[in-house]
Every structure is written in C-alpha cells, then in structure tokens.
Structure 1
Amino acid sequence: MPAFWTEPDFDEHELVHLVHDRASGLTAIIALHSTHLGPGAGGTRFWHYAEPAGAMRDALRLSRGMSYKNAMAGLPVGGGKAVIVAGPDKAKTPAMLAAFGDAIEALGGRYITAEDVGITEADMVAVAKRTSYVTGLPSTDAEAAGGDPGPFTSKGVFLGIQAAVAHKLGRDLKGVHVAVQGIGSVGGGAARLLAEAGARLTLADVDADRAAALASELGAETVAAEAIMDVECDVFSPNALGAILDNVGIARLKAPIVAGGANNQLARPEHGPMLAERGVLYAPDYVINGGGIIAVTLEYLARRDGKPCDIAEVHAKVEEVPVRLNTIWEEAGASGRSPDQVADAMAQRLIGR
C-alpha cells in the first residue's frame, strides 16, 4: 500500500498527527491542511472504519474541505479535522475524550475542534475540561450563540436550496419537490424549513422510524434509504455521509439540482464536471454547509476575547451563503467550468495555494 502522503487526498497537508493513548484506548488522527488564514478549525468525527485507510482518507478529505469552507465563509481560520477511530462496539469513554483533549492541547492552538458526526455537545464539554481550543459549547445566554451548530448549518442549506431553485428553475420553493437523504440534525432541520416554505418532501434515512416520524410531522413521503437517489424530483439534497456522487450515483439522479449539507459529496474531482455535463446545478458542499463552522468560529473568537457571541451576527453571516453560491454559479456559467471547479479555484487563491 502506498504511503498516505503520496495519495491525492494528502494535498500538501501541513500536519497529520496520529494519536494513540494505550491507557484509554484512544486512536485518533488530527489533520491540519492549511493554517494560512489562522489556526485550523473543524469538527471531530467519531466513527468505526472497516480499514485504517478509511479513517486516514476521511481525515485528509475533511480537513482539506474545512480549509476551503472556512476560506469561502470569510473566516479568519484555516482548515483542520479530527477523526476518533471507534471500535466495533463504538464505545466512547470519558478517558478517551480526556486523552483527546490532551492531544489537542499539546498542539498549542494550531487546531480548534467542535462537534461532528458521532460527537455531541456533551462530548465537547468533556474535551473542554482538558483544553481551551474547543468550541460548540453550550451558552446560558439566550442572545448568545453556542452549543450545537446544526441549526445554523440547516439554515445555510435551506437558503442554498432556495437560491439554487431560483437560479435553475426561476421560482420560489412553494410546490418544489425536494428529496432529502439523511434527516439527522442538519437534514432534519433543513426539511422543516423547506416544509415551512411550502416545498413537497420525500425523506429517507438509515433509521426508517426516524424518517417516518418526521414525515408524519411534516406531511412528507418516505422511501427506503437505498432508493432516495432514484426519486424523480426538483432537488436532490444529500445530508448524510459523503462520496455518494460517483459514476453510479450520478447516473441514478433524476433531479436538475443537487444541494445538501453532506461533506465531500463528490467521490472524485471528475464528478463535478460530470454533473455539469448532465445539466445538473451543483451547490458546492463546503459553501452551502458553512453555517455550522460560521457559528462555532464566531463563538470561539468571542469567547477568546472575553465576550458573548452575538447570535444576530451569526445569522447575518449565514445569510451570506446564497450570495457566495450565486457568485460561483454565475462564474461557472460565464467560464464553462463546473461550479465545484470555480469554488475550488476561489478557495485555493484565498489560502495561498
């Protein structure tokens, strides 16, 4: 097997830190892609991988995605990501979280962490007992941002879908059919906002009972998780795990728009142009799903400066998401490049690559 630094996903990472703590059983990877704009910021994922290479691939791709996401959101932070490798039993202990906090502290502020898949607000509170380089912590002030950033990610995804429908279809969301893949914190929040705007929804989730419950609440339909990409609709909204837009996935699509909150939706770089060739408008994932990192970064910066984070400031920053998307789509239309290529070029200029 080739060394990971020869793989395309390595992409000149500044640091890849492998952590193993024998006493607690912690195995983790902390990846810093770029600190050109500031300390690397990005969440921690807790996941079981069938092969170690999967954990490394996830850490590298997610870290690079955070560099691009933070740059495109106009935040004074770079890109980083952490993966805690879960065992088959997916056991997570206080000792593991403490050891992980110590590992972050040892980096001296080069990496700032927050919630991601498999990590809760309570987990971040536990990590914060060992390091100050953590955000996404609860706030007791109703006027201050803090805690779970999921609602802000959902809002950005909703606004991005709204912008995509206006750009591609020339209409508002009333009656637009959106197929939502994954209805966790982000997908479920976006679905509620879409329903409020009058969209018609088809929902799918690996937890069929959860999908059925939300469908009942919103007056939506459901399909099996493996069938959602075959639904004929106006918008396909992926909000689960990434790399679903590969040759097979793209061939299955029956939607003129792909816009959702999942990270790393494109399996490989060639799949963005493939979507464009099919006439599908794509919302680059790290632009449309930037609401959460906006919230936790502004929270962290405010706490660092000894003041509460103004929730109105966070909402205003999230509302810039559709502006960025429209800029990308307009340049893509004018240049003949696909939206992902345009967004990547913009982000790379911002981080000095």
Structure 2
Amino acid sequence: MKSLIKQDIRFSTAPMMDWTDRHCRFFHRLLSRRARLYTEMLTTGAVIFGDRERLLGFDAAERPLALQLGGSDPAELAKAARIAETFGYDEINLNVGCPSDRVQNGAFGACLMLRPELVADCVKAMKDAVALPITVKCRIGVDDQEPRTALFALAERAVAAGSDALFVHARKAWLSGLSPKENRDVPPLDYGLVYELKRAYSDLPIAINGGIATIDDMRGHLSHVDGVMIGRAAYHEPELLLSVDPELFGEAAPLADGFAAVEAFIPYIEAQIERGERLANMTRHMLGLFAGKPGARAFRRRLASEAVRPGAGVEVLLSAMDEARRAMSARIRLAADANPTGHSRS
C-alpha cells in the first residue's frame, strides 16, 4: 500500500477541465520539479469504456501525477481506479467539488457533498481495489448547507473510510443559480473553516484551494494547513511555478525564466507534431507567459493567430518568443535612456 505524507501535497496544481491535459502538465513540470500535478477530471464511464491510452496516457516526466475521477458508483470507481493503477498514477482523487451541469446530471461532483455516506462508500471501494493513495477534493458545502456541518460530516466519513488526504476548495458551490465560472469566484471564501478542520484532523494531510494567487498567499496558508492547491493563477501566470521550488521547498528552480521554459518545451513540441498533434494544442497552455511584462501581448497575439494554422511548427513559437524579447529589450533601453547615470531620481 503506497502512502501519502504531508510533504507530498505541500504544493499542487488543481485539476481543471479542458486545461490540465497532458501537454499542460508536461509544461508545468518543466517549471517545478516538486509540484504535484493533477489531471482533468475523467468520469468513470470514460475510463472504463473510452480510449484509455488517449485519456489516461502520460509522459513519465509528469510524475508525481494524480488522476481525478468523477463518479458516484463505488463499483465503477473501483474498476476505474484499477485501470488507472496500471498506467502508473501516484494517486486517485475523487471529485466532490465540481458544480457543472454535467456532474449534476450524473449525480456526482459537488452533489456528493449532500451524500457523505456515499462518499465514504466510494473511498472505501477504491481503497479496497488499489494500493494507491485515495484522496478527496471537496467544497465546504453546497446550496443551503451550513458549511461547518457539511464539511465536517464529509471529512469524518471520508477519513473513516480511509481517505489519505483532503483538498478543500474553501467556498460553497451553488448547484443552481450560479454558473461553474461564477462558482469559482462568487461564493465567499472561508479559509478559517479549513484551518479549523486541520486542527480537528491534525494527522491527516489537508490542502487548501481557492483564491490563492501569490507565493506570499501560499506561505500564509502553509502556517495553518499542509498544502496549497493552485488553479487559475498557475495556468494564467505559469512563471509563478518557477518560484515554487525555491520559495516553498528550498531548492533551486529548474529553469531561469519564461524564455528558458519555452526552449525546454520545444523538443516535446517537435515530438508531438511528428505524431500529428497540432501546435496550438500545446502553445495554448503558454499564453500566460510573460504576464505583466513588455512583449506579453505580442507573444499571445502571435501564438493565438498563427499556431492554429494548419502545418504550423515551432518556428511560430520561436518568432513569438523573439517578439517578446525585443519588446523587453526595448523597455530596458528606454529606461536606461531616461536615467543614463543609473542613479535614482527620488
């Protein structure tokens, strides 16, 4: 039986539908050796009946890597977990937080906050089926549930069933009245409730998710819980990941900057294009590079307009990177011309 320790979940990237595919994860791994990466949610039906290599296959460089499963039938979850185990995943995570129409129609995701006993049955079925750690990603409640009651009921039953860790998005989900996008922003955050849960389950690895955007935010949370899980901030500003290893683990960053990240990604892109993959399917995960810096807009514009063209190759990416470099160099020259002595004018 493989174990999961608190250090394993110190930093992770969140599972995000349509975003954290295998190309995104490979790119993110280049930026952090220590991040724990999560797949997009896959339903049990997709795993059991779908194209397994396309859905479950990954590059070994992505590890440590967790598969997030969506489902509410214990037997099907157990079967899907057994299939995933043969692919070499490091963890299976049960989705108890997604509020989309798709999961509501299937009575899983955030709907399971209303059925903590079923969550326990699902966790136990997977624990009995595989030797991998089984974890749960949840909300603090749904709809009119009282958050503390809902979260602690879910945690109590999941832990009793053998859950190896909890990842808590510190917001409620509203199953009606809010879109999935609104559910990521509108319900208020309650970090204190997650801290309280950690105090009650001191031995259980617990990570917090929701609204965390900076290294300082992460450090603040890590004084209360074992881990932070970052979603949109990591995707829209991937260079944030370059700070993770030095700032949160005391280790050197694997690359110097975003330009080095592009160069490191190119061999992977070339290999994927050789296999018939489209350039845009990989470069779309890089559009947030250089965020807030001169040249970021030109970089995004070039990739967005040219990477989608049939037959586009790495020359498009190299050209976009050159535009960004020129813009940054021009800004540095302007600053130097404005202050030729190099002395502060304050």
TM exceeding 0.5: no
Normalised to the residue count of structure 1, the TM-score between the two structures is: 0.30
